[in-house]
Amino acid sequence: MIASARERRHAARRDALADAAIETLQSLGYAHTSLRDIARRTGLSLGRLHYYFADRNALIGYCVRRYKARFIAAIEQAIGGATQPRVVAARVVAALAASIRDNAETHRLWYDIRGQAMFDPALVEVVDEVETALIAITTLVTGRLGLDRALALSIYLAMDGHYRYAMQRHLDGDAQIVLAFERLATEALARFLPDEVRMDHDAHV
């Protein structure tokens, strides 16, 4: 189905609105962001928000999809064509560390919304989608590490745990945590490697 020019422009304006809205969301979080906050901070009218999105959750869900898609694209780009396990691992860890250092305020939003999905059925679908995509990129990484892809979920969960913790402590002002994250995350990945690869890996860490 070819979109008309008008539909394309409509979609572009919708995207631009979401991109403007996300600043407010990441700053205030789900609980404390009202549509009026978004309107006020973006200079857009309250009515316009309602024109482009059915309701508050629709806007929030759309924002989260867009930002996580960009995050996943950045991880993919960081990996590039790397196929050596230790290069892949180093690149993933470095990309995650950089995202904490440079964008912790943005990334905390995912943990907020993911938590809210446990209380609000309207958020379940987008959260499941995003988490599925995160597990998928982890599956790609798992393959590149030369591991059985059945390990992807466990790798995702271990890395996610480390990421969230580091990000939260970074937000709390811990100046050493990103460096600690790099070490701990690298070790966490190494734990999944077979012994002979792991010994080789450790020798280079």
Partner DNA sequence: GAAGATTCTGGACACTCGTCCAGAAACGGC
Partner DNA sequence: GCCGTTTCTGGACGAGTGTCCAGAATCTTC
Note the residues at the interface with DNA (CB under 7 A). 4-6, 9-10, 13, 33-37, 44-48, 50-52, 55-56
- Looking at residue 55, the DSSP 8-state letter turns out to be S
114, interface contact from a copy of itself, DNA, none, CB < 5-8 Å by kind: a copy of itself
- Binding positions for a copy of itself, rule: CB under 8 A: 28-32, 108, 111-112, 114-120, 124, 128, 153-154, 156-162, 165, 167-168, 171-172, 184, 187-188, 191-192, 195
204, interface contact from a copy of itself, DNA, none, CB < 5-8 Å by kind: none
Give the span between the Cα atoms of 183 and 205, in whole angstroms: 9
Instruction: Provide, rounded to whole angstroms, the least separation between the CB of residue 201 and DNA.
Output: 48
Instruction: Provide, rounded to whole angstroms, the least separation between the CB of residue 65 and DNA.
Output: 18
Residue with smaller CB distance to DNA, 37 or 131: 37
Instruction: Provide, rounded to whole angstroms, the least separation between the CB of residue 69 and DNA.
Output: 23
- Looking at residue 54, the DSSP 8-state letter turns out to be S
Residue with smaller CB distance to DNA, 35 or 140: 35
55, interface contact from DNA, a copy of itself, none, CB < 5-8 Å by kind: DNA
Instruction: Provide, rounded to whole angstroms, the least separation between the CB of residue 17 and a copy of itself.
Output: 22
Q: Are 181 and 163 in contact (CB under 8 A)?
A: yes
Instruction: Provide, rounded to whole angstroms, the least separation between the CB of residue 66 and DNA.
Output: 18
Which of 99, 95, 90 shows the shortest CA–CA distance to 186? 90
Which of 85, 66, 73 shows the shortest CA–CA distance to 14? 66
- Token pair for residue 56? 């508050």
9, interface contact from DNA, a copy of itself, none, CB < 5-8 Å by kind: DNA
Q: Residue 193: helix, strand or coil by DSSP? A: coil
Q: Are 79 and 141 in contact (CB under 8 A)?
A: yes
- Token pair for residue 68? 């996580």
Backbone angles phi, psi at 119, to 5 degrees: -115, -25
Chain centroid offset of residue 195 CA = 31
